[in-house]
Chains A and B, each alone.
Chain A
Amino acid sequence: MSPAEVVDFEPPYLFPEYRSTVLRAPHRPLVRLPEEWFHRGPGPAFGRIPVSPDDADLTRQHKGEPLGERIILAGRVVDEDGAPVRDTLVEVWQANAAGRYADPADDHLAPLDPNFTGAGRCRTDSDGRYRFVTIKPGAYPWQNHENAWRPAHVHFSLFGPQLSGRLVTQMYFPGDPLMRLDPILNSIPDARGRQLLVASFDIASTTPGWALAYRWDIVIRGRRATPLER
């Protein structure tokens, strides 16, 4: 894979259609370091970040049930060799069903839900799998341009086992007509790259009579997370 191809699957720093990039994108190109120095080095020790088993169910963090469409959001985290990334931290955060974040900085005139915070954590299992129960987030308006709306999305943060694996991104829902209009998603030049951020509806993982399910697999940069031999 040529470096140019890799770049097309990643957003640039400067993407003027997303206005906030204009004063925040570095002007100087990133300094390249010899690969053998760092890329295979271990990543951050995230073990201090607290995770309890309850953190993976965002619908049970308060006394009552949150409003909205209950969903199961699950998938597998692998490295570039397709090997499972085990026991790695996955953090998620999102708006509620009305499109409002439980964040003091969010002034969107949509209701907060006293039964929904919208933040969760879990660690992947021995096969690299994660699973959250949550509420399908709503779309919401933002100030980027005239009549701008963010498509429904869930934010993800992952560490991965290696220095190059740190990933913060957003997952989108299939069929959302707002995706086509969203400068943040469309900052990724290659349509195949954008598609990697869209979950699949997963009828097999639904819980009949209780929750729909979406599957979203994640590929962390880096290789040989599990050495073949010592």
Chain B
Amino acid sequence: MSERPRPTPSQTVGPFFGFALPFTGDVDAVRPDGTGTLRIEGQVLDGAGEPVPDSLVEVWHASQFARCRTDVEGAFHFNLAKPAALRLLDGRVRAPHMNVTVFARGLLRHLETFLYFPDESEANSTDPVLELLEPNLRATLIARPDGQVLRFDIRLQGESETAFFAL
């Protein structure tokens, strides 16, 4: 009887991935000029509130996938479409959301979180993931309208730290 193989451990993405992982059109999960396309903008911030310029953020849901390396301001952006609500196996319904994965120098393992949409307050109020969280943590996952875009900052550490999930 052989032992089940152990998963390969994680290591940091390091600081020097910017020449390798970005690709043409990487930030566009959908056509940037399409009907219903939403632009998401945010910053990755560390425990001192400083920008994280060597971070890679991926967002995805069903057939949508996008990747953005942060710039010197720790800023990233995406063009995506709000996905449909999702029915879980147990019948409960998750509000429309995107899966968000964060890599960075200094993150020995990546972080997983979710982006929810501010115009879905009814669906958000019964979302089983958001329901698990204290209100202040819940707020870290809901993007906020900011002019023509939705703002979604990712705070790795500190008082307003984003809620991250073990998946």
Interface on A for B, CB 8 Å cutoff?
1, 6, 9-13, 15, 18-28, 30-33, 36-39, 44-50, 78, 80-82, 91-93, 95, 101-106, 117-119, 155, 157, 163-164, 166-170, 184-185, 187-188, 192-194, 196-197, 218-221
| Contact of B1 with A by CB under 8 A | no
Q: Using CB atoms, name the residue of chain A closest to B13.
A: A168
Q: Is the CB of A44 within 8 A of B109?
A: no
Rank and list the top 10 A-B pairs by shortest CB-CB distance, nearest first.
A20-B106, A93-B20, A119-B20, A11-B108, A24-B106, A44-B60, A30-B166, A101-B16, A170-B11, A23-B47
Contact call A221/B7, Cβ cutoff below 8 A:
yes
B1-35 interface code vs A (CB 8 A; 1 in, 0 out): 01011111111111111111101111000000000
Asked if B8 and A36 sit within 8 Å, CB to CB, the answer is no
A164-B60 contact given A1-B4, A197-B8, CB 8 Å threshold = no
B156 within 8 A of A: yes
Task: Report B65 CB to chain A, min CB distance, Å.
Answer: 5
**Do A49 and B129 touch (CB < 8 A)?**
no
Q: Which of B2, B108, B162 contacts A18 (CB 8 A)?
A: B108
Q: Does B153 contact A (CB under 8 A)?
A: no
Are B52 and A24 in contact (CB-based, < 8 A)? yes
B28 CB to nearest chain A CB (Å):
9
Known: A26-B111, A36-B89. A196 touches B9 (CB 8 A): yes
Residue B126 is within 8 A (CB to CB) of chain A in the complex:
no
| Chain A neighbourhood of B4, CB < 8 A | 1, 80-82
Considering only CB atoms, which chain B residue lies closest to A51 in the complex? B23
Interface of B, helix, strand, loop or mixed by DSSP: loop
Q: For B105, what are the chain A residues with a Cβ–Cβ distance below 8 Å?
A: 20, 24
B136: min CB distance to chain A, Å: 11
- Rounded to whole Å, the gap between the CB of A37 and the closest CB of chain B is 6
Per the CB 8 Å criterion, the residue count for chain B at the interface is 64
* A26-B161, A170-B11 known; A164-B167 Cβ under 8 A: yes
Contact of B7 among A9, A20, A26, A118 (CB under 8 A): A9
Partner of B17, one of A36, A49, A155, A185: A155
Residue among B16, B128, B129 having the largest count of chain A Cβ atoms under 10 Å: B16
Determine the distance from Cα of A80 to Cα of B23 in the docked complex, in whole angstroms. 30
| Alpha-carbon distance A155/B10, docked complex (angstroms) | 11
Indicate if the CB atoms of B6 and A196 lie closer than 8 Å: yes
List of B residues within 8 angstroms of A36 by Cβ: 89-90
A103 to B12, CA, bound (A): 17
B9 x A27 contact (CB < 8 A): no
Contact with A along B46-62 (1 / 0, CB 8 A): 11101010100010101
User: If A20-B105, A30-B166, A101-B16 touch, does A80 touch B7 (CB 8 Å cutoff)?
Assistant: yes
Is B107 an interface position by the 8 A CB rule? yes
Nearest chain A CB to B135's CB is how many angstroms away?
A: 14
Across the interface, do A167 and B10 meet the contact criterion of CB distance under 8 Å?
yes
Since A13-B107, A44-B60 are in contact, a sample of 5 more A-B pairs with Cβ atoms closer than 8 Å, ordered by chain A residue number, is: A23-B156, A24-B104, A44-B65, A80-B5, A105-B16
User: Cα distance A34–B23 when bound, in Å?
Assistant: 34
A106 touches B25 (CB 8 A): no
A155–B15 Cα gap in the complex (Å)? Answer: 11
Q: Are B156 and A197 in contact (CB under 8 A)?
A: no
Minimum CB–CB distance for A137 against chain B, Å = 11
In Å, the complex CA distance between A22 and B12 comes to 14
A residues in contact with B128, CB < 8 Å: 37
Q: A23-B48, A28-B161, A37-B88 are in contact. Are A155 and B14 (CB under 8 A)?
A: yes
**Docked-complex contact A166 and B101, CB < 8 angstroms:** yes
